[in-house]
């Protein structure tokens, strides 16, 4: 597939700064998912978005984290006032439509965030 694109691939921030992670889904996909992967751990669901709508944000911390998927442009995961515990790999995935036979999620290369 042309692939899910994420940028930046690596991001270094100092405590208290903002981190902004971008995700462009596979062309034609209108559903985006964000997952966080801590070192040596599995992927944890954060948020599921469709164009201009947040469908499920049950996995996202209530404070400092926000996500959007505007009508035009990439999906953005924003982390305000980063802390060291935010250091992780953040993966974006996309799917055409989460219906029968369309469940597959294609993952991007991830953004590795390091908070100093």
Partner 1 sequence: GENVEQHPSTLSVQEGDSAVIKCTYSDSASNYFPWYKQELGKRPQLIIDIRSNVGEKKDQRIAVTLNKTAKHFSLHITETQPEDSAVYFCAASITPNTGNQFYFGTGTSLTVIP
* Nearer to partner 1 among residue 63 and residue 100 (C-beta): 100
Angle at CA 10, nearest 5°, toward 104 and 106?
Answer: 5
Examine residue 28 and tell whether it contacts partner 1 (CB under 8 A). Answer: no
* Nearer to partner 1 among residue 58 and residue 72 (C-beta): 58
3-state DSSP: the chain helix, strand, coil percent, rounded to 5?
A: 5, 50, 50
Q: 10 with 114: CB under 8 angstroms?
A: yes
Examine residue 31 and tell whether it contacts partner 1 (CB under 8 A). Answer: yes
Give residues in contact with partner 1 (CB under 8 A). 4, 31, 33, 35, 41-45, 48, 55-56, 58-59, 91, 95, 98-100, 103-110
């Amino acid at each position: 597939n042309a692939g899910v694109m994420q940028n930046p691939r690596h991001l270094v921030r100092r405590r208290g700064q903002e981190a902004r992670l971008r995700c462009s889904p596979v062309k034609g996909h209108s559903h985006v998912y964000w997952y966080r992967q801590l070192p040596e751990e599995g992927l944890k669901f954060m948020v599921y978005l469709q164009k201009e709508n947040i469908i499920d944000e049950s996995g996202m911390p209530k404070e400092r984290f926000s996500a959007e998927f505007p009508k035009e442009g990439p999906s953005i995961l924003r982390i305000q006032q980063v802390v060291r515990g935010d250091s992780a790999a953040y993966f974006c995935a996309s799917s055409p439509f989460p219906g029968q036979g369309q469940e597959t999620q294609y993952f991007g290369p991830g953004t590795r965030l390091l908070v100093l």
